[in-house]
């Protein structure tokens, strides 16, 4: 764990223009800088960097933060990893807080394994370029047979492990690397007969496997022999630093392109990824011949919710496309599929086409996966009732895995249409499947929505409006309530954006000048209220501490909160500071036809109401808790009297708030 003094030194040294400038080309505009956003595709720059505040904000996609947040977002790194990257850039020594002997040993062992893997990757590439057998076997294969350029070979760190089965292990030991780490990384294997080390990957071309931050965690080795007794591919065994279920080949090189395209193309093998990159399509990763796992899908979901599967167009490719996709649907990813011509795989197709042709083919031939699957199953079923029933059940199983209820409903509607099935029957079957997986309530909610949609004869995605009740009253459509978290966000926003400002209200015929922060603190203290959201609570408490140290009417310095050691706090503060919602706290007040001319008048209208609504919701929640306690049959008379008295107090406060705000009870 990095100690606090080191974190403070990093924040003091970091220059956000330097950091962001490593990833995008910044152009000065006034006192700030701008660029096209690195997190989404755009032609007109909407990404702004403020060196004075040390923050960035994209007014297109909404992403914002400080230099540490930017590295975390760009590299998909954890907070400590981002701090270490920036510390290294500025030459700051990272001091760790005291760890147990066991933690120290584990960290040291992991670092030793990473160091050995990095050395091994360099060794394999150096051997390929500098040794005769490396050039004649591996370099010829990569450049001639695969068509990889030297730049591509260097980019992916491709290499060759010597044909002599002990050469690498001997050279590694001579370079000072310990036997225990050669064995734990799987680079070497101990022979049973004499205990000597031999190379796991001897006589194989080498593909280093990088984790998302670019460190080599393992290797894939491909034999060029035609001997069927020799496995075509040999991979590193799982270790302390390598878990094949959590890694995707090429993700380190693809992550920026994935973010920019908001889409990832999934292929099968190492060569597929490399050829696609060389062809200019870089948002590509591979599962390396293994079935996709939940960990891999969740890793991808950090960069995009959209995944395109690219497979061979033959029967085997189609079957490969079908297998394992349910796990992607379960993670609420949007899945499309591209089938290549039968004579091609992604590697050969990429080598046979230009980057524009490749992108054009993907755009024109990608199709929604579930729609593709429905048509495929329907084609195989022809007119056989049993096969059609099996096909429909297969589709129901896939649809039931989708977490989003609206998306499920749309697929139910589509499948009912294309398969000539009854939509309500399909909806019931999906609900039963959900019932078996997720519990009764979700299944019943889904089925109810389906029935409501049918009765109203509205598209599933439309807002449902209930039919008239028996009394002839038409209930309003639900537009979304104002949650406690939203209200806490509003109050926090008023503090950090306007806490130093004053406004005037007229009450009982007299004017009164109030300070935003003073009013919020007084009202919260008066009713002993505190935020429940930990991030807003931290901001509230730390802002208050800074406010108490600042002269009245002077803006509280935001540097401490912008560069807070908790990245959730810093990113939230920056997001609130750069929001432009003009003090409209919720849809409740948006619906009021209020014309406000000045900032002070806006605050006079919005801040007191935000406080009142927050109190209202707090009273509602606490009253509900008291009602539940009163329903307890085992409660004694004394406790009942206490609860009843407290409940009456809340109701009196509720009436007072209603009168003050004009809100109906």
For 419, which DSSP code?
Answer: T
Whether residue 535 contacts residue 569, with contact meaning beta carbons closer than 8 Å, is answered with: yes
Strongest mean pLDDT among 97-106, 195-204, 330-339, 569-578: 195-204
Strongest mean pLDDT among 54-63, 313-322, 476-485: 54-63
Query: Quick check: 657 pLDDT over 70?
Result: no
**pLDDT one-digit tens code per residue, 49-107:** 988 788 999 888 888 889 998 998 888 778 888 898 899 888 888 877 666 778 778 87
Under DSSP, is residue 177 helix (H, G, I), strand (E, B) or coil? coil
18 and 117 part of one domain: no
Query: Quick check: 390 pLDDT over 90?
Result: no
In the listed set 242, 262, 279, which residue is the last one of a domain according to the structure? 242
Per-residue pLDDT, 172: 96
Question: What are the structure tokens assigned to 630, written together?
Answer: 């009163």
Query: Which candidate, 345, 290, 293, 347, places its Cα nearest to that of 316?
Result: 345
Alpha helices in 284-384 (DSSP H): 294-301, 315-322, 325-330, 346-351, 355-365, 369-381
Per-residue pLDDT, 528: 78
Domain count, the chain: 5
Q: How confident is the model at residue 476 (pLDDT cuts 50, 70, 90)?
A: very low
Q: How confident is the model at residue 480 (pLDDT cuts 50, 70, 90)?
A: very low
271 and 296 part of one domain: yes
Mean pLDDT, range 479-497, rounded to an integer = 78
Stronger pLDDT, 387 or 98, i.e. the higher one:
387
Per-residue pLDDT, 301: 78
Note the Cα 327 to chain centre separation in Å.
Answer: 17
574 and 652 part of one domain: yes
* Residue reference for tokens 């901001």: 539
Under DSSP, is residue 209 helix (H, G, I), strand (E, B) or coil? strand
Per-residue pLDDT, 107: 77
Query: Quick check: 448 pLDDT over 60?
Result: no
Residues 608, 613, 619, 621: what is their CA dihedral angle, to the nearest 10 degrees? -150
Rounded CA-CA distance 409/112 in Å is 52
Query: Quick check: 481 pLDDT over 90?
Result: no
Mean pLDDT, range 436-454, rounded to an integer = 50
Rounded CA-CA distance 572/569 in Å is 5
Stronger pLDDT, 659 or 628, i.e. the higher one:
628
Per-residue pLDDT, 213: 75
344 and 380 part of one domain: no
Mean pLDDT, range 408-437, rounded to an integer = 81
DSSP secondary structure string for all residues of 119-166: HHHHHHHHHHHHSHHIIIIIIHIIIIIS---HHHHHHHT-EEE-SSTT
Per-residue pLDDT, 411: 85
Whether residue 259 contacts residue 40, with contact meaning beta carbons closer than 8 Å, is answered with: yes
Per-residue pLDDT, 459: 36
Q: Residue 83's domain is classified under what CATH number?
A: 3.90.580.10
Query: Quick check: 4 pLDDT over 90?
Result: no
Question: What are the structure tokens assigned to 550, written together?
Answer: 């600042």
Q: Residue 346's domain is classified under what CATH number?
A: 3.40.1360.10
640 and 529 part of one domain: yes
Q: Residue 130's domain is classified under what CATH number?
A: 3.90.980.10
Strongest mean pLDDT among 136-145, 298-307, 597-606: 136-145
In this structure, is residue 461 part of a structural domain? no
623 and 496 part of one domain: yes
Per-residue pLDDT, 560: 81
**pLDDT one-digit tens code per residue, 497-509:** 888 888 887 766 6
650 and 502 part of one domain: yes
Per-residue pLDDT, 174: 96
Q: Determine which of 194-203, 358-367, 448-457, 531-540 has the lowest per-residue pLDDT on average.
A: 448-457
Whether residue 144 contacts residue 177, with contact meaning beta carbons closer than 8 Å, is answered with: no
Mean pLDDT, range 368-385, rounded to an integer = 80
In the listed set 316, 331, 365, which residue is the last one of a domain according to the structure? 365
**pLDDT one-digit tens code per residue, 180-193:** 999 999 999 998 88
In this structure, is residue 468 part of a structural domain? no
Rounded CA-CA distance 80/77 in Å is 8
- Cα angle 186-154-235, degrees, rounded to a multiple of 5: 20
Q: What rounded mean pLDDT belongs to the chain?
A: 81
305 and 450 part of one domain: no
In this structure, is residue 306 part of a structural domain? yes
Segments forming the whole domain that contains residue 388: 374-456
In the listed set 212, 242, 272, which residue is the last one of a domain according to the structure? 242
Query: Quick check: 595 pLDDT over 60?
Result: no
147 and 216 part of one domain: yes
Q: What percent of the chain has pLDDT over 70?
A: 85
Under DSSP, is residue 227 helix (H, G, I), strand (E, B) or coil? coil
318 and 422 part of one domain: no
116 and 200 part of one domain: yes
Per-residue pLDDT, 474: 29
In this structure, is residue 466 part of a structural domain? no
In this structure, is residue 462 part of a structural domain? no
In this structure, is residue 475 part of a structural domain? no
Rounded CA-CA distance 254/657 in Å is 55
Query: Quick check: 438 pLDDT over 60?
Result: no
264 and 210 part of one domain: no
Query: Quick check: 250 pLDDT over 90?
Result: yes
Query: Quick check: 305 pLDDT over 60?
Result: yes
In this structure, is residue 94 part of a structural domain? no
Query: Quick check: 23 pLDDT over 90?
Result: no
Q: How confident is the model at residue 393 (pLDDT cuts 50, 70, 90)?
A: confident
In this structure, is residue 435 part of a structural domain? yes
């Amino acid at each position: 764990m990095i100690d606090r003094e080191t974190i403070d030194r990093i924040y003091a040294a970091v220059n956000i223009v330097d950091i962001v400038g490593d990833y995008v080309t910044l152009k000065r505009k006034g006192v700030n800088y701008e660029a096209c956003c690195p997190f989404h595709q755009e032609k007109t720059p909407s990404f702004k960097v403020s060196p004075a505040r040390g923050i960035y904000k994209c007014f297109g996609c909404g992403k914002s933060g400080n230099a540490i947040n930017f590295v975390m977002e760009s590299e998909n790194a954890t907070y400590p990893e981002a701090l270490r990257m920036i510390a290294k850039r500025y030459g700051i020594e990272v001091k760790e807080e005291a760890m147990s002997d066991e933690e120290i040993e584990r960290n040291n062992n992991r670092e030793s394994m990473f160091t050995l893997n990095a050395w091994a990757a360099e060794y394999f590439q150096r051997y390929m370029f500098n040794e005769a057998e490396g050039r004649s076997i591996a370099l010829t294969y990569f450049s001639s047979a695969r068509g990889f350029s030297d730049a591509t070979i260097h980019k992916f760190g491709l290499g060759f492990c010597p044909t002599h089965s002990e050469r690498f292990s001997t050279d590694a030991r001579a370079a000072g690397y310990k036997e225990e780490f050669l064995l734990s990384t799987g680079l070497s294997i101990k022979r049973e007969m004499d205990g000597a080390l031999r190379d796991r990957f001897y006589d194989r071309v080498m593909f280093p496997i990088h984790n998302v931050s670019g460190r080599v965690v393992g290797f894939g080795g491909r034999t060029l022999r035609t001997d069927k007794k020799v496995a075509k591919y040999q991979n590193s065994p799982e270790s302390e630093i390598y878990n094949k279920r959590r890694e995707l080949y090429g993700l380190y090189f693809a992550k920026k392109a994935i973010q920019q395209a908001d889409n990832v193309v999934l292929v099968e093998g190492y060569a597929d990824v490399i050829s696609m990159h060389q062809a200019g399509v870089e948002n590509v990763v591979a599962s390396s011949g293994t079935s996709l796992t939940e960990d891999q899908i969740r890793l991808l979901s950090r960069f995009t919710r959209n995944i395109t599967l690219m497979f061979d167009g033959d029967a085997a490719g189609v079957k490969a496309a079908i297998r394992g996709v349910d796990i992607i649907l379960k993670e609420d990813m949007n899945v499309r599929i591209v089938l290549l011509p039968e004579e091609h795989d992604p590697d050969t197709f990429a080598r046979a086409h230009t980057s524009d042709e490749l992108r054009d083919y993907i755009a024109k031939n990608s199709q929604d996966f579930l729609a593709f699957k429905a048509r495929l199953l329907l084609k195989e079923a022809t007119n056989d009732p049993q096969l059609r029933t099996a096909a429909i059940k297969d589709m129901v199983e896939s649809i039931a895995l989708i977490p989003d209820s609206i998306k499920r409903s749309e697929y139910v509607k589509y499948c009912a249409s294309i398969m000539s099935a009854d939509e309500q029957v399909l909806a019931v079957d999906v609900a039963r499947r959900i019932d078996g997986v997720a519990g009764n309530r979700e299944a019943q909610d889904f089925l109810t929505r389906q029935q409501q949609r049918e009765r109203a004869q509205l598209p599933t995605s439309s807002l449902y409006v209930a039919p008239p009740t028996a009394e002839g009253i038409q209930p309003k459509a639900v537009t979304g309530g104002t949650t406690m978290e939203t209200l806490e966000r509003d109050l926090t926003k008023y503090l950090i954006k306007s806490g130093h400002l004053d406004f005037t209200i007229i009450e009982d015929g007299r004017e009164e000048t109030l300070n935003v922060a003073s009013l919020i603190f007084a009202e919260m203290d008066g009713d002993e209220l505190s935020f429940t959201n930990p991030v807003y609570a931290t901001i509230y408490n730390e802002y208050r501490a800074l406010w108490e140290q600042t002269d009245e009417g002077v803006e509280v310095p935001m540097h401490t909160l912008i560069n807070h050691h908790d990245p959730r706090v810093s990113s939230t503060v920056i997001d609130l500071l750069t929001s432009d919602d003009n003090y409209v706290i919720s849809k409740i007040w948006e619906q009021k036809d209020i014309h406000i001319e000045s900032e002070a008048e806006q605050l006079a209208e919005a801040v007191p109401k935000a406080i009142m609504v927050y109190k209202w919701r707090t009273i509602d929640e606490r009253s509900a808790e008291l009602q539940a306690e009163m329903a307890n049959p085992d409660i004694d008379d004394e406790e009942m009297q206490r609860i009843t008295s407290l409940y009456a107090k809340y109701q009196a406060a509720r009436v007072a708030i209603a009168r003050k705000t004009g809100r109906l009870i």
